[in-house]
Amino acid sequence: MSLNKALVSRRFAPRITEKRWNHSIERNIFDSWQMEGIYAFKPRKDNRPFVIDTPPPYPSGTWHIGAVAQYTQIDMIARTARMLGNQVLFPIGIDRNGLPVEIYTENLYNIKLRDTPREKFIDLCKVALDDLEDKMVAIMKRVGLSGEYESKYRTDEAEYRKLTQSTFIELWNNGLVYEATRPNNYCYECGTTIADAEVQYEERLTRLVYVKFKVKETNEPLIIATTRPELICACQLVIVNPSDERYVSLHGKHAVLPIYDREVCIKPHTSAMPDFGTGVVMICSYGDYTDVLLFRELGLLEIAATGQDGRLTEAAGPYRGLKIAEARTRIIQDLEAQNLIVKMESINHRTPVCSRSGTPIEIISMKEYYLKQIEFLPKLRQLAKKMAFHPPANRQILLDWLNSVAIDWPISRRRVYATEIPVWYCKRCSATFVPPAGKYYRPWRDSAPIQECHHCGAVEFEGDTRTFDTWMDSSVSALFITKYGRDPKFFKLSYPATIRPQGKDIVRTWLHYSILRCYQLTKKPPFTHAWIGGMGMDEQGQAMHKSKGNVIDPEPIIEKFGADSFRFWNASEATHGSDFRCSEARIESAHKFLTKLWNISRFISSFPQVRRARLQAADRWILSEVSALIEQSLAGYKEFNFFTPASAIRDFVWETFASHYMEMVKPRAYGQSFSKSQQEAAWYTLHMVLRNVLLLLAPVTPFLVDHIWRQLYSKESIHLQKFPKPSWSKRHRRFTERLITFNREVWRVKEEKKLALRDQLEMKIPKVLAPFRDDLTKMHSLIIRPSTQN
């Protein structure tokens, strides 16, 4: 080091002493935020707070990296709203109802729900959930979620379940709930009815069996192709397409079922597709939704072939008691033995499966409670059209779903770890009793809240043992966080909530049910903005599944690169609403940007801060770029699309500020042959740009910016500041292209001549860049000939 350099470095020692951004201090920074209470929600009497209807996550083991990413973006919404001047309610809730924890508990303790006393099973579920929840909350804190941990809510706590039950009772009293026996989606793995919204379709390989029936009148064989030969016993009709000329002669005749030797009518119906199988279709209760529609349309008598245990019933004759798959194998064997199978094909069949267990859905008739939704569809469409969607295109997902809803919502489930249905029945006359709202009821355990049956005078009652579909709970989260029924003043001030952030995978469940339920109860939508995020995919853009082996555990990556790298990766990975790719390499590249920002901050921290300065052309130029950056970033923030600010800031810091401005003013900042006032202008500008960049990045990378902010600018956290304003004229941006082009040209020529960057070079500065002459000359060690200076 030359003597000169040594003097410079002693005089300009960086105030940021750590050489690298040590992200292991993120934990301490989070703790200090908690201690200072800087995110505490302090509602003002007169002012509507900014209320986020945070999705309560379901603790069920390893948290999906895409979900963790989504929660960090929800945190960015909260931080953005605060920096825009709002009082922000960012609740932290945990969804703890439903099937996954039951299965988890069964596996954990190696027990079976059906063989364990209900009370004991519920206690074990709670213990398992507490453990999973702790891990989940630790991750929330690790990635910097600035929510209300002190008032964390759980959907299985008495207060919450009371709300679910009270709202059910309210809707019951308003005549919006009814009980009916109807064919319903049934998952025998989960042992419960499930709603259409929870049915997924998967292409599954299955056998299409061509079975020989007989035409009664002519004794001719009639070949019917079916994927469900075990349901032949439940066949009540055979149809052919009216336009199918091959079968016109069959209209009005009868088919004789093989094995069972029973007769059913053959009718023309447009539901038969001539090009599927042989074009002849058996209609049975119930192979698919077409069967359901035809049974209803033609008033056919249902034959219940499948029981709730997933085994065939009496109706199946020799196959009674067999599981569906076994029964299918057996009947195929028997049909083959009797020479009644013409051929079998392997086909890819679009199979409805349970979204929780992946089991193929059976359609069986059961008595269930339904919440009316069909009559609300026109209103829901209206509300969907009025609601602000981010991005706007995702409104269509909801509208498409609303257009396909065909039945009311079955809300009762045969499970145990969920909110109980608060209904009792008279043991003598079966009359139904719904208690008054305002308490948490457990009818399977508690005695009835009435003394005597109003209808028959009997005194013995039986509680319903079923529970609600867990969407009945989560669909009122907006009511819970705004204290519906608990604090009328606060409710009035804070409902509807401001924004519902969620993934697009649960539009037809959580979003739809929330709007339906909250509208039924309040005549208002639950929130004014719906923010619908894309899904986290693997490096190749494929969904992550345990079975594919492409699941990424976020925790080790966050440990390795820090929460801010994870957050910056997520914000800059894809525009809001698109699916985004997750990989360690992508997060590592975000980490590189933070390292760059750290180095820049450390360099700037070497220089004193001055209050005002006489700006030079280069200073005015970069500040005009900062104005543009602020405008662009704020436009993105106001849309809650963090891709816009994150990518704009990265490009500015890396491409414009560091590569051009900082290189240009280094000599001036160090005071090499510049006046004191020129030097101070460089100091002033460097700090001004850094301050603004830190403020603009605060919602995205809250740890690093607060750490730098407090070392350089204020003891008060950056997270108590507002966004900066674009206060500099953007006129000087007209130089941007010219400056960048000129610098690149100099670097190109030096490289061509094999000169080092600091080597002298003779080169002409274009006239238009004359105001920058001193900075550019020093920056590139240019030799300016007197003749070129005019």
Residue of 92, 136, 197, 426 that binds Zn ion (CB under 5 A) = 426
The dihedral region occupied by 508, where left means phi > 0, alpha psi between -120 and 50, and beta the remainder, is alpha
Indicate if the alpha-carbon torsion angle 504, 203, 513, 152 is positive or negative.
Answer: negative
Cβ distance to Zn ion smaller for residue 286 or 569: 286
Residue of 458, 543, 720, 770 that binds Zn ion (CB under 5 A) = 458
CA distance 612 to 134: 50
- Residue 692: Cβ-neighbour burial (10 angstroms; 0-12, 13-18, 19+): buried
Integer CA distances (angstroms), 268 to 157, 220, 281, 408, in order: 55, 18, 10, 30
Residue pair 156/97 in contact by the 8 Å Cβ criterion? yes
Residue pair 650/592 in contact by the 8 Å Cβ criterion? no
The window from 106-114, 349-357, 480-488, 763-771 that contacts Zn ion (CB under 5 A) reads 349-357
CA distance 501 to 617: 44
CB 270 to Zn ion: min, Å: 33
Cβ distance to Zn ion smaller for residue 443 or 554: 443
Residue 455 within binding range of Zn ion, rule CB under 5 A: yes
Q: Is 746 helix (H, G, I), strand (E, B) or coil?
A: helix
Residue of 341, 448, 453, 779 that binds Zn ion (CB under 5 A) = 453
Positions in 190-229 near Zn ion (CB under 5 A): 190
CB 346 to Zn ion: min, Å: 25
The window from 13-21, 186-194, 300-308, 386-394 that contacts Zn ion (CB under 5 A) reads 186-194
Cβ distance to Zn ion smaller for residue 191 or 645: 191
Cβ distance to Zn ion smaller for residue 428 or 733: 428
The window from 446-454, 475-483, 530-538, 631-639 that contacts Zn ion (CB under 5 A) reads 446-454
CB 194 to Zn ion: min, Å: 7
3-state DSSP helix/strand/coil percent for the chain, to nearest 5?
45, 20, 35
Residue of 7, 127, 456, 543 that binds Zn ion (CB under 5 A) = 456
| Number of residues in contact with Zn ion under rule CB under 5 A | 15
- Residue 340: Cβ-neighbour burial (10 angstroms; 0-12, 13-18, 19+): buried
Cα 119 vs. chain centroid, distance in angstroms? Answer: 33
Cα 452 vs. chain centroid, distance in angstroms? Answer: 48
CA distance 358 to 547: 12
CB 112 to Zn ion: min, Å: 16
Specify the amino acid at residue 155: T
Cβ distance to Zn ion smaller for residue 248 or 450: 450
Of 68, 76, 143, which is closest to residue 580 (Cα–Cα)? Answer: 68
CB 546 to Zn ion: min, Å: 16
Cα 489 vs. chain centroid, distance in angstroms? Answer: 31
Residue of 329, 357, 589, 599 that binds Zn ion (CB under 5 A) = 357
CB 590 to Zn ion: min, Å: 38
CB 359 to Zn ion: min, Å: 5
Cβ distance to Zn ion smaller for residue 425 or 490: 425
Residue of 127, 429, 459, 720 that binds Zn ion (CB under 5 A) = 429
Cβ distance to Zn ion smaller for residue 12 or 425: 425
The window from 161-169, 419-427, 587-595, 674-682 that contacts Zn ion (CB under 5 A) reads 419-427
CB 512 to Zn ion: min, Å: 20
Instruction: Mention every residue, 6+ apart, whose C-beta is less than 8 A from residue 188.
Output: 306, 308, 309, 310, 359, 362
Residue of 133, 157, 189, 774 that binds Zn ion (CB under 5 A) = 189
The window from 129-137, 180-188, 230-238, 443-451 that contacts Zn ion (CB under 5 A) reads 180-188
Cα 775 vs. chain centroid, distance in angstroms? Answer: 50
CB 432 to Zn ion: min, Å: 10
CA distance 564 to 26: 9
Assigned token pair, 537: 């995919």
Residue pair 67/536 in contact by the 8 Å Cβ criterion? yes
Cβ distance to Zn ion smaller for residue 200 or 542: 200
Residue of 83, 354, 698, 708 that binds Zn ion (CB under 5 A) = 354
CB 234 to Zn ion: min, Å: 22
CA distance 468 to 303: 28
CA distance 760 to 682: 23
Count helices and strands in the chain by DSSP H and E runs: 24, 27
Cβ distance to Zn ion smaller for residue 354 or 626: 354
Residue 431 within binding range of Zn ion, rule CB under 5 A: yes
Helix (H) or strand (E) holding 612, with range, is none
CB 39 to Zn ion: min, Å: 39
Residue 187 within binding range of Zn ion, rule CB under 5 A: yes
CB 622 to Zn ion: min, Å: 59
Instruction: Mention every residue, 6+ apart, whose C-beta is less than 8 A from residue 641.
Output: 390, 391, 575, 576
Cβ distance to Zn ion smaller for residue 357 or 522: 357
Q: Return residues touching Zn ion (CB under 5 A).
A: 187, 189-190, 354, 356-357, 359, 426, 428-429, 431, 453, 455-456, 458
